[in-house]
Amino acid sequence: MAEILGNLKPQAVFHYFEEMTKIPRESGNEAAISEYLVNFAKAHQLDYVQEPCKNVIINKPATKGYETAPRVILQGHMDMVCVKEDDLDFNFETDALPIYVDGDWLRTKGTTLGADNGIAVAMSLAILADETLEHPALTVLVTTEEETGMDGVMALDPANVSGDILINIDSEEEGFALASCAGGVRNSLKLPIEWTILKEAGFVTYEVVISGLKGGHSGSEIDKGRANANKLMGRLLNELHGLDGHLSQVFGGEKMNAISKRALATVTLPSNNVETLKEKVQAFEDMVRAEFAVTDPEITVTVTEKELVTKVFTEKTATNLEYILKLIPYGPQTMSANIKGLVESSTNPGVVEMFDHEIEINSAIRSSVSTLKAEMNQRIQAIADLTGATVELIADYPEWQFAPESKVREVMKEVYQQMYGKELQISAIHAGLECGFLSQKLGNIDMISIGPDITGAHTPKESLSISSTERVYQFLCEVLKAIK
């Protein structure tokens, strides 16, 4: 079968990327993609290590004349965020991603693309496979479970990796090299559920769904002013007070590190209050559509009758859940005083899940200042204390601090100026990168992060610029050539 991306350049990069779109690689399900990387190393007779956590490290010797040059680590992660359109029949565990070319953009038909961070892997494999490139000794480090808490880099054995320079390829804007990033943690708030049985007659059950939101990356797009469906559901539940309604189900979001674009609640109420319910829901939809007319113009709130449910939350549980969803922080919390326009601290209650005995709300907490990260967690802890919930912090990862001096940064600036006649911008990002952990694991190593233009990461609108990919790959190859 002919490759969909066979005519794109760089041909090797898009070949490997297309290969990966056929392999399941959701965070936590990376066995197949890890084996693919091992088989690549074997086929090219390269030394490799596959760690128990499925991280893969591949080494390639220096080319002639580069034997004494600093060893360079090329780094990315193999996993991807798997999100699809609500009505799309698609299985990330078995189906190839439905990729297609749209002018200069590579997209999919209703799913995330996995350019975050499959493009790093594709570029690294293309470099390893190319026998014509001039470069220092190379180590390619591909980690697992970056998207759900950086478990792969946390489990990395430093004895398996050595190098003097590390180039992370997990940035999403051409022309910008990142030299710092935020740290983060998953804040898991758990509210116990108390149940009761409705014994009165005359009740009906309705499902209320908030949908049509854009969503987005909870780090790089948290400053776009977009609505969060979980937060909207808290407001809607507050609006529905006075209807003698009883909650029995609540869900929202898909991934902690994606802005929630859909939420659902099941409400049982007296049949004579149904019209009022519909009126309040319509009024709420009109209100939030007006509030988010620019950022989320397609917000929709629907009400659908369901089979009667009589096992419901107690009033105490329902009220505490409403308070939590209303009070839990969302969006930018502080802005950087040093870098104009950079979010310093943020929170995103990305997922609301319900189990038999508890409701779990998972928030992505990010900050480039560790004490502010702690302060946001303390605020959520205070909400938990007031509502009888508990809080657990999971997968805490450190910020990556700016280094005043960097050889690779200077090399990149010089090469970029020579290639494009303009200055490479050195910046920071609010999203988390593995560089914070890598600096702890690997010691005093010179690091920087680059990447091609990617839009809509962590959403079904994720897109990769083809021309930007070609330019960034050529730039990366020239940088390797210049490191001596």
| CATH number for the domain harbouring residue 115 | 3.40.630.10
Query: Within this chain, do residues 304 and 192 fall inside the same structural domain, yes or no?
Result: yes
Average pLDDT over residues 227-237: 98
pLDDT attached to residue 257? 86
The parent domain of residue 450 ranges over: 11-171+433-482
Assess if residue 424 is contained within a domain.
no
Q: Evaluate if residue 243 carries a pLDDT over 70.
A: yes
120 plus 233 within the same structural domain: no
Domain match, 215 and 349 both: yes
Of the candidates 419, 73, 81, 108, which has an alpha carbon nearest to the alpha carbon of residue 220?
81
For residue 298, count CB atoms less than 10 angstroms from its CB and return exposed for 0-12, middle for 13-18, buried for 19 or more. Answer: exposed
- Is the pLDDT at 295 greater than 70? The verdict is yes
138 within 8 A of 165, measured Cβ to Cβ:
no
Does the residue 420 lie in any domain? no
State residue 2's pLDDT score.
Answer: 66
Q: Which of 373, 397, 421 is the last residue of a domain?
A: 397
Mark which of 382, 397, 412 sits at the end of a domain: 397
384 and 442 share a domain?
no
Mean pLDDT of 246-259: 94
Cα–Cα distance for residue pair 200/270, rounded to 1 Å: 9
389: in domain: yes
**In total, how many domains does the chain have?**
2
Mean pLDDT score, 72-76: 98
Please, which contacts does 44-48 make with residues 24 or more away whose CB atoms are closer than 8 Å?
A: 44/128, 44/129, 46/128
Q: What pLDDT, on the 0 to 100 scale, is given for residue 255? A: 86
The pLDDT of residue 264 is above 90? yes
Average pLDDT score, the chain: 96
Alpha carbon 362 to its chain centroid, in Å, reads 14
Comparing C-alpha atoms, which of 339, 315, 340, 400 is closest to residue 366?
400
Element (H, E) at 166: strand 165-168
pLDDT digits (tens, 9 = 90+) for 179-207: 988 999 999 999 999 999 999 999 999 99
Using DSSP's 3-state secondary structure scheme, residue 205 falls into: strand
Pairwise pLDDT comparison (339 vs 146), residue with the higher score: 146
Which of 206, 399, 386, 391 minimizes the C-alpha distance to 301?
Answer: 206
Indicate whether 152 and 105 sit together in one domain. yes
| Per-residue pLDDT reduced to its tens digit, 131-167 | 999 999 999 999 999 998 899 999 999 999 999 999 9
Specify if 178 maps to a domain.
no
pLDDT at 178 over 70: yes
For the record, the structure tokens of 110 come out as: 């209703």
Does residue 200 form part of some domain? Answer: yes
Residues 274 and 157 in one domain: no
pTM for this one?
0.74
User: Is 6 inside a domain boundary?
Assistant: no
In this structure, the answer to whether residues 216 and 354 fall within a common structural domain is yes
Give yes or no: residues 191 and 163 share one domain. Answer: no
Question: Which residues are annotated as catalytic?
Answer: 79, 146
Q: How confident is the model at residue 430 (pLDDT cuts 50, 70, 90)?
A: confident
- pLDDT above 70 covers a percentage of the chain that reads 100
Residue 367 has a pLDDT of 94
Q: What is the pLDDT of residue 111?
A: 97
Model pLDDT, residue 1: 52
Residue the block writes with tokens 């943020």: 346
Q: Given 370, 397, 424, which residue is the final one in a domain?
A: 397
Residue 202 domain-assigned (yes or no): yes
SS3 327: helix
Evaluate the CA torsion angle 51, 53, 54, 58 in order and state its sign. Answer: negative
Q: Tell me the per-residue pLDDT of 360-404, one tens digit each, with 9 for 90 and over.
A: 999 999 998 999 999 999 999 999 999 999 999 998 888 888 888
Same-domain pairing of 359 and 450: no
198 and 147 co-located in one domain: no
What is the CATH number for 353? 3.30.70.360
Average pLDDT over residues 404-412: 95
- What does residue 269 show for φ and ψ, rounded to 5 degrees? -145, 165
Same domain, 30 and 107: yes
Quick check: 421 and 141 in contact, CB under 8 A?
A: no
Q: What pLDDT does 256 receive?
A: 87
Tell whether 230 and 375 lie within a shared domain.
Answer: yes
Residue 80 inside a domain? The answer is yes
Rounded to 10°, the helix 229-239/274-291 angle is 140
